[in-house]
Structure 1
Amino acid sequence: MLVHTTLAFTPQRVPLGILHQQVWTRSPETYGKKHQRKKRAITEKESQKWLNSPEAARTIHKESPDTLVISVGDREADIYELFHHASDYPQSCHLLVRAAWDRKVEHPQKYLWPSMETQPVADTFEVIVPRKKNKSERSAHIDIRFAPLTLLPPQNKSRLGPLTLWAVYVNEPSPPHGEEPLSWMLLTTLKVESLDEALCLVNYYSVRFSIELFHKVLKSGCTIEKRQLQTAEGLIRCLALDSLVAWRIMFLTMIGRAVPQLPCTVLFGEHEWKALYCFINTTKTLPLFPPSLQEATRLVARLGGFLGRERDGFPGTEVLWRGMQKLASISAAWFAFGPHTV
C-alpha cells in the first residue's frame, strides 16, 4: 500500500494540518511494463498524485483567497502536465518544484541547466550543511541565479505548448574534495524579479523537508508499517488516525517554538496539563495559571527522556512522541484518581 500526503505548512515550518491523503496499491499486472509509461496518459499513472495535491491546495485557497498558497514538490513532481494545469490557477495560488529534467528551453543554450548557468550571479552566501551519517557538518558557499524562461514541451506532449516560468538556480560551484555539491534548480509560477524574492522561494522550498519528518514520525513513532490488520480498509482507517497523531506531534514541536508564550491550553486538555505538571514536579499543588506552551512542551519532552541541558536546544519529535505516549497513561490516571474524584 502506497501513501501520498499533502500537508499545509507556514513559512516558519508550523504544520497547519493534513489537506489530502491518497492511498493506493499497485496491480501485479503493471509489473515489468515501466517501458510503456510514455504511452500512457497521466491519469493512468501514479504521477497523477502530483496533480491531485495542488487541487487540494486550491480547495483550501477558495476558503482563504487572500492567502498566498504555494504547492511545493520535489524532483518527482517535475511533470510537464503539472505546470500546464497551473496556468489555470488563481493569482495567489502557485507551484514551486525542484527540477529533475534538463528540459528544452527557448534560449541559445537550448537546455535548462546550461541556460541558467549563463545568467549572472545575483549573490553568493554561506550556508551550514548539517551533519549526516558519515559526513561532518560543513559550510558551503552558494551562488544564486534567477531568470524567466520558456519551457518547450516534450515531443510526445507537443499539444500542451510552451510554458513561461521562472527559475531559481542555487549551486555550490567549488565543493570540498569528496563532497557532493549542493544544487537546486527550482521552477515556479511565481514572478522572481529581485534577490529577496529568489531567497524567499529558496526558503519556501526548504520547508518541503518537513514532510520527511512527518513520515519519520508516522513510521518510527506510530509504526504504521508494522500494523497487522486483516483488511486494507482497516489499515486505511488506522493510517488516518496515525496521521493525525503524527501531525499533532509535529505541531507541538514547532508551535512551541513559533509562539512559546501561548497558554498550553491551546493544545492540551485541562486533565492533560494538570496531570503533566503534578507528575513532573511531584506535587499536588497546581499553579494559579496554566503553564505556557513552551513550558508544557518541555515537560512532555522530559517524560520522553529530554534532559534540557544548556546546549540541547529545542526538544525534537522523537522525545515528544515518547513523552506523549506516557502522558496518555498519566492523564488517564488523573481522570481516575485525581483531586476531583475525592
Structure 2
Amino acid sequence: MVAGKTVCLRRLSRGDRALEVRFNRFLGHDKVTAERIIESWSEGTVAAIEGRHVLAIQDTSEIHFNTTPQRRRGLGEIGKGNNHGLLLHPLLAVDAADGACLGLLSGQIWTRKGRRTTSHDDRELSDKESQRWISTAVAAKPLLTKASAVTVLGDRESDIFALYASSAEQHFHVIARSMHDRKLADRSGLYEASDAMAAVDRRAVQLPARAARPARLARLELRFGTIELARPQSKFLHHLPKSLPLAVVDVREINAEADVEPLHWRLLTSHDVAGIEDAWRIVQWYKQRWIIEQFFRVLKTQGLKLEDSQIGTADRLLKLVAIAAKAAVITIQLLQARGGGSQPLRVAFDDGEIGALAALNKQLEAKSKRLKNPHPPDSLAWAAWIIGRLGGWDGYPSSKPPGPITFKNGLEYFRAVAAGWSLRDMCMP
C-alpha cells in the first residue's frame, strides 16, 4: 500500500488475479480481525518511544464509502445520517521535542449498528462513543512504560471530565481544547475565569495549513492560570472526584485579517504551568495535533484514497482500514525523515528489508564518490535517502527534497528489489 499509494486490491495485485484472490481471502479469514491488526500497530513504535516525552495524539475520522439503498455493505450511518461508512479513532505517538511521528499505538475502528433511541444524557459513559477517548488512552498506557513522560492530547471532542480524572489515575498528563464553558468549583464559569486572566505575552506563531485554511502567521496573545474544575452534575459521574485541579492556557489571535476567523484556543492541562515559557510550551505541544490530521489526509484524499475502496462488506472494510492506517503512518515517517531526524530504522523496515537497503546504499554510493548517504545507518533518514535516490532524486543537499511521488516510485522499485533479495540464499535443486 505504501509503495503503490493505493488500497485498491486490483491495483496492488498488478494484474495478478491469483494475488488479488489471496488478498481477498486474507481479509475474509475468520482469524484475521481488525482488533488483532490494531494490536500489531505498535510493533516498532514501542522501541521508538524509549526515553522520549511522547505526545499520545488521538482523534476520530469518518471514513465515507459510497453506498446505495440496495447496497449498504453492512455500513452504518455517519455524519448527519446522510452517509454510510466507518469511524476510525487512532492514537498516534509523536515526539514532544521535535514532532517526529513514532508510530501508532492503539485505536478503535467501528461501524454504527443503527440509531440510538436512548438520549445521550441518559446513558452511562461506557455506553457512549465518547468512551473511546478514555479506553484508547488506557489501552496505550502499557505500551508507553519506557517513555520518559506521556501527554495524551486531543481536540475539542476530548474535553471530557472523566478523561481528566483518568489521567490522574493512570499517571499520564493530558491536554485538551475546551469545548464547553464548564463550571468551576466556586460555581463561576471557565470562560469567565479565563477572560479575566491578564494577558502576559504576545508572539507570532506559524499555523500549518488545514482543510479550508491556508498556512499563516498568527499573532497570539497569551493568558494562563490555575482552575478547579467541578464535576458535571450527571448521575453517572458520582464516582469521580468532585473537582480536579487543572491549568488553563488561553491563546487568542489579535489583529486577524477581516476574512480570517481568529484563532482562540482554551487549553486545559494537567501539566504544571508556572510561567510564560511553560504556557507557550503547552501551545507548542498542542500544535503537534496537526500531524494526526495529516495522517487522515494521507489515508484518504491526498494519499491512499481509502474511501474509493469497493470491497463489499463492512467486516472486510474494517480490516482494510486497520491495514491502511499502518501504511499511512509509514508514509508520514518517510516524508518526515527526508531531512534527517532521530527516528529508528526499524520503525518501518524489518531485518530482511534492512539488508536489501544496505546493499542498495553501497551501490548508490559507488556510483558517485562525492555523494554519500549523510545519515546514520540505524536511522529512518538513512532509508529515506536511499528510497529517494531510487525514485529519481539526485541526493544533493542543494536539491529540493524528494516528495510523495518520488518516494512512491522509489518504494515500488525497492519492493521489487527486496523481494529478490529475500531469495538470494535459496538453493535450487
Alignment TM-score, normalising by the size of structure 1:
0.80
Letter in 1 for 2:140: A
C-alpha distance after superposition, 1:148-189 (max 9, x if no partner): 101223332572422221111111133222211111111111
1:329 is aligned with what amino acid? A
SS at the partner of 1:245?
helix
Mark the CA change 1:313 to 1:184 in structure 2 (over 3 Å): closer, same or farther: farther
2:72 match:
none
1:22 and 2:100 are equivalent in the alignment: no
Q: C-alpha separation between the residues in 2 aligned to 1:306 and 1:135?
A: 31
Which residue does the alignment assign to 1:9? 94
Q: Tell whether 2:124 aligns with 1:45.
A: no
Aligned partners of 2:109 and 2:322 also within 8 Å: no
Residue by residue over 1:28-72, the C-alpha shift from the partner in whole angstroms, topping out at 9 and shown as x without a partner, is 243xx4x811111111111111011220232223x32x6110100
Partner of 1:97: 176
Unaligned runs of 5+ in 1: none
Match of 1:252 in 2: 334
What is the one-letter code of the residue matched to 1:300? Answer: I
Whichever residue aligns with residue 277 of structure 2, its letter is D
Distance 1:191 1:265 in 2: 32
Matched, 1:221 2:308: no
- Aligned 8 A contact 1:265 1:290 in 2: no
**What residue identity is the alignment partner of 1:68?**
A
Mean CA deviation greater in 35-44 or 257-266: 257-266
Moved more, 126-135 or 220-229: 126-135
User: CA RMSD for the aligned pairs?
Assistant: 3.8
TM-aligned CA distance change 1:116 to 1:224, over 3 Å: same
Kindly state the Cα deviation for residue 335 of structure 1 after the two structures are TM-superposed.
6.7
Aligned position for 2:290: 209
In structure 2, the residue matched to 1:122 is 200
Look up the equivalent residue of 1:13 and give its one-letter code. G
Q: Separation in 2 of the partners of 1:37 and 1:123? A: 40
Distance 1:256 1:306 in 2: 11
Query: Equivalences for 1:35-74 in 2 at 5 Å?
Result: 36-61=119-144, 63-64=145-146, 67-74=148-155
Task: Assess, with a 3 A threshold, how the Cα gap between structure 1 residues 48 and 266 changes in structure 2: closer, same or farther.
Answer: closer
Contact kept? 1:217, 1:317, Cα under 8 Å:
no
Structure with more contact order per residue of length (Cα contacts < 8 Å, sep ≥ 6)? 2
Q: CA deviation at 1:140?
A: 2.2
Counterpart check, 1:154 vs 2:237: no
Equivalence map 1:159-178=2 (5 Å): 159=238, 160=240, 161-178=242-259
Q: What is the rounded CA distance, in whole Å, between the counterparts of 2:166 and 2:346 in structure 1?
A: 42
Kept after mapping to 1: 8 A contact 2:175/2:269: yes
Tell me, what secondary structure is at the counterpart of 1:102? coil
Q: What secondary structure, in the 3-state scheme, does the structure 2 residue paired with 1:149 have?
A: strand
Bigger helix fraction: 1
Superposition deviation, residue 77 in structure 1: 0.7
| Cα distance change of structure 1 residues 85 and 186 upon mapping to structure 2, 3 Å threshold | same
Task: Give the aligned partner of residue 325 of structure 1.
Answer: 412
Q: Does the residue aligned with 2:332 lie in a helix, a strand or coil?
A: helix
Separation in 2, partners of 1:115, 1:49: 29
State the shift of 1:195 in Å: 1.4
Amino acid at match of 2:111: T
The 1:176–1:286 alpha-carbon spacing in structure 2 relative to 1, beyond 3 Å, is closer
CA deviation map 1:83-113 (0-9, x unaligned): 22223122xx1111111111122468x2212
Task: Look up the SS of the partner of 1:28 in the other structure.
Answer: coil
Distance 1:289 1:282 in 2: 9
TM-aligned CA distance change 1:213 to 1:308, over 3 Å: farther
Change (3 A) 1:334 1:261: same
Give matches, 1:214-293, under 5 Å.
Answer: 214-219=295-300, 220-259=302-341, 267=349, 269-272=354-357, 274-275=359-360, 292=375
User: CA separation of 1:183/1:229 partners in 2, compared to 1, >3 Å: closer, same or farther?
Assistant: same
1:179 corresponds to which letter in structure 2? V
Query: In the alignment, which residue of structure 1 is the partner of 2:271?
Result: 190
CA distance in structure 2 between the partners assigned to 1:307 and 1:112 by the alignment:
55
Partners of 2:212 and 2:298 in 1: how far apart? 23
User: Against the structure 1 CA distance between its residues 80 and 318, is the aligned structure 2 distance closer, same or farther, given a 3 Å change threshold?
Assistant: farther
* Structure 2 unmatched ranges of 5 or more: 1-85
For the residues of structure 2 that align with 1:71 and 1:126, how far apart are their CA atoms?
Answer: 26
Distance 1:88 1:136, change over 3 A: closer
Between Structure 1 and Structure 2, how many residues are aligned? 329
Q: 2: distance between equivalents of 1:217 and 1:312?
A: 24
What is the alpha-carbon distance in structure 2 between the residues aligned to residue 56 and residue 265 of structure 1? 20
